[in-house]
Amino acid sequence: AQSVAQPEDQVNVAEGNPLTVKCTYSVSGNPYLFWYVQYPNRGLQFLLKYITGDNLVKGSYGFEAEFNKSQTSFHLKKPSALVSDSALYFCAVRDDGGATNKLIFGTGTLLAVQP
């Protein structure tokens, strides 16, 4: 069965510093990986996805993610954090290798950016 793990409940970073939010995955077959962000009292906003191709995926709001097959990781990164980036971040994997829309989510990582 497909799964993702987000090992950190919270990540703290100072504004202007680079940020990394970690995600590891376990899949049978090709991974279809996603990052979403959730602001308080809001739904999930799509940031980026990896289906195939380049290991460095660029997404919305200056975020990017690095796919590493050997380490089964898909970490979210941003070169310079903003206070407005403070939110809950979810890593997700599509179940059944892409034949369904069912997403399996990690437990989420709360990103806190201090001014």
Backbone angles phi, psi at 106, to 5 degrees: -75, 180
Q: Closer CB to other proteins, residue 13 or residue 37?
A: 37
- Partners of residue 4 on adjacent β-strands: 25
Q: Which of 31, 41, 95 is nearest to 65 (CA)?
A: 31
Q: Are 34 and 49 in contact (CB under 8 A)?
A: yes
**Stretch binding other proteins (CB under 8 A), from 22-30, 34-42, 67-75, 78-86:** 34-42
Q: Which of 13, 108, 109, 111 binds other proteins (CB under 8 A)?
A: 108
Show contacts with other proteins in window 48-67 (CB under 8 A).
49
> Is 25 a residue that touches other proteins (CB under 8 A)?
no
What is the gyration radius of the CA atoms in the chain, in angstroms? 13
Under the rule (CB under 8 A), what is the footprint of other proteins?
32, 34, 36, 41-46, 49, 90, 92, 94-95, 98-108
